[in-house]
Chains A and B, each alone.
Chain A
Amino acid sequence: MALAYSHIVMRHSRQPVNQGRLVKASRKFQGENISCGDQVTLFVKLDSKKKITDVGWEGEGCAISQASTSIFSEMIKGKTLAQAQKITGETLMKKMDTQLSPARVKCATLPVHTLKEATD
């Protein structure tokens, strides 16, 4: 299969982690790729030191955007919100072990931009 769909991408695509809305979320972040319709909502629970103690997410879209959100949710757990917001798209894609065409990089980086830009 295409290099885009690595082991880890397919694993998270089939069995996503942290999926679902967090009922008592401290913050909610919503993002969308307008051009292709991929949507993601990230929920984080923060402790008094702004550390992310729990993550949840809901989304709709291609396998790349949904797997990347699942992987990203694992990456940010335990970090402070400020630290999590510093994670770059490159770092995430490295973790995903994926090779994407320029048109599809935005699918993978959707959760990164969501956490950075769109705030409730």
Chain B
Amino acid sequence: MDFAKIKKDFPIFRQARLKKPLVYFDSAATSHKPQSVIDAVVDFYSKTNANTHRAAYELAEQATGKFETVRSLIADWLHIASPDSVIFTKGTTEGINLVAAAWGRNMLKRGDTILLTELEHHANLIPWQLLSREKNLKLEFIPIDDQGRLNLTHLPKLLRGVKLVAFNHVSNALGTINPVQTIVRAARKAGARVLVDGAQAVPHLPVDIGRIDPDFYVFSSHKMLGPSGVGVLYVKPERFEEMTPYQGGGAMISEVHWRHATYQPAPLKFEAGTQPMAQVVGMGAAIEYLQSLGMRQVELHEKQLIRHAYKVFSAIPEVTIYGPKPVDRLGVLTFTVADIHAHDLATLFDEYGICLRAGHHCTQPLHRTLGVTATARFSFYVYNTLKEIDFAAETLKKIIKQWHSPTATS
């Protein structure tokens, strides 16, 4: 696969209004969309638009068919035994909230412990804080080592009495790739259920949910070249009987009376109301695009980018990099620059057409652990190149020089 040519598939990089080439290093926040994804969305509205799972006319059947094909595609792609385990959500955040509300509220009791990690995104922290307030649960955290990797030395002890372990597969803030298999196995041995937040994993490396065998696995479409507003929650079949409905409404019911109702089996039971149909179809096109690249190739490409970025930015004396060595991380480079605040860096890089994130990246407690209030973050994806990384490094050297030069201003 020639990753150098990928940019041409993404219309955002070809806009006439761009004064300089767009160097987009914020894919951990959201990714850009290839033409095929945009076309799939437009195509759905132009040719197949009708509400799914409701009407008996042909157009609605076509819409339902397109929608359900994506469910099967996701199951095949991630090695999930049955498409019925695939629930569509608004995204990773809703997936976690769904598990907290439909499973956690039903199955967790006063005094139970949920084990999280110090790497968690707010999306995998706040839903558990809310539930723990409501049900009087305890929250514990797997600590990180000085390289931002999970310290699993005391995992068996930490797992004692734990009912649920919820952690990210890959850290959005540091790019750390967590030993998902090891944690799932240990959790299972301790009798705990497991939720894996795969928002930063599914877009970037081959994921085999069948092999990982978690109880719940969540991710978003918009971070993997697909449309925003849709995501996936995988549920292990055995967990369904432990879950009450999340939202009530159309499509999730079987028989409705004034004072009671029966529900559809999963997955429809958890998909109340009209679904983001065009977005689901667009997500299907995103998966096909990623399949055409090959997820192993995507991972190798990002590994190459992060190795290079780590090397060239480590060589700049003013730069401090946070998180693990390239071998343990995906395409995320989190750093600070001496005497230049991360927010100033973001503004200064923007002048050169380079987009990066500055702040706490939805991980305030982690930043407190790291001892910094704000960091700058580059996050890479399929359309990024080694050349762009070199350009960013040269740009940073220029920025540092100008910042310290007594005469340099606008």
Contact B347 A101 (CB under 8 A): yes
CB distance from A46 to the nearest CB of B (A): 31
Which single residue of chain B is at the shortest CB-CB distance from A3?
B410
Give the one of B347, B350, B373, B402 with max A CB within 10 A.
B347
> How many B residues are at the interface, by size bracket?
20 to 34
Contact residues of A: prevailing secondary structure? loop
Given contacts A36-B374, A37-B360, contact A7 B344 (CB under 8 A): no
Question: Which among B348, B373, B406, B409 is the interface contact of A37 at CB below 8 angstroms?
Answer: B373
Interface residues of A in 7-30 (CB under 8 A from B): 7, 9-10, 14
Contact A62 B408 (CB under 8 A): no
Contact A1 B343 (CB under 8 A): no
Contact B347 A6 (CB under 8 A): no
CB distance from B264 to the nearest CB of A (A): 41
> How many A residues are at the interface, by size bracket?
20 to 34
Is B351 engaged at the interface, CB distance under 8 Å to the other chain?
yes
Is A4 engaged at the interface, CB distance under 8 Å to the other chain?
yes
Interface residues of B in 71-110 (CB under 8 A from A): none
CA distance A101 to B358 in the complex (A): 14
CA distance A21 to B403 in the complex (A): 27
Is A79 engaged at the interface, CB distance under 8 Å to the other chain?
no
Contact A1 B410 (CB under 8 A): yes
Contact B409 A7 (CB under 8 A): yes
Contact B351 A1 (CB under 8 A): yes
Contact B341 A1 (CB under 8 A): no
Is A117 engaged at the interface, CB distance under 8 Å to the other chain?
no
Question: Which among A6, A10, A107 is the interface contact of B343 at CB below 8 angstroms?
Answer: A107
Contact A4 B347 (CB under 8 A): yes
CA distance A108 to B294 in the complex (A): 46
Residues of B within 8 A of A101 (CB): 347, 350
Given contacts A35-B359, A36-B374, contact A61 B348 (CB under 8 A): no
Give the one of A4, A5, A107 with max B CB within 10 A.
A5
Contact A64 B374 (CB under 8 A): no
CB distance from A12 to the nearest CB of B (A): 12
CA distance A93 to B410 in the complex (A): 15
Contact A36 B343 (CB under 8 A): yes
CA distance A61 to B343 in the complex (A): 9
Contact A36 B359 (CB under 8 A): yes
Given contacts A1-B351, A1-B402, A9-B409, 10 further A-B contacts (CB under 8 A): A1-B348, A1-B403, A2-B410, A5-B347, A5-B409, A36-B374, A37-B373, A62-B341, A63-B344, A104-B347
7 pairs from A and B in contact (CB 8 Å cutoff):
A1-B408, A6-B410, A10-B408, A36-B358, A37-B359, A37-B360, A62-B343
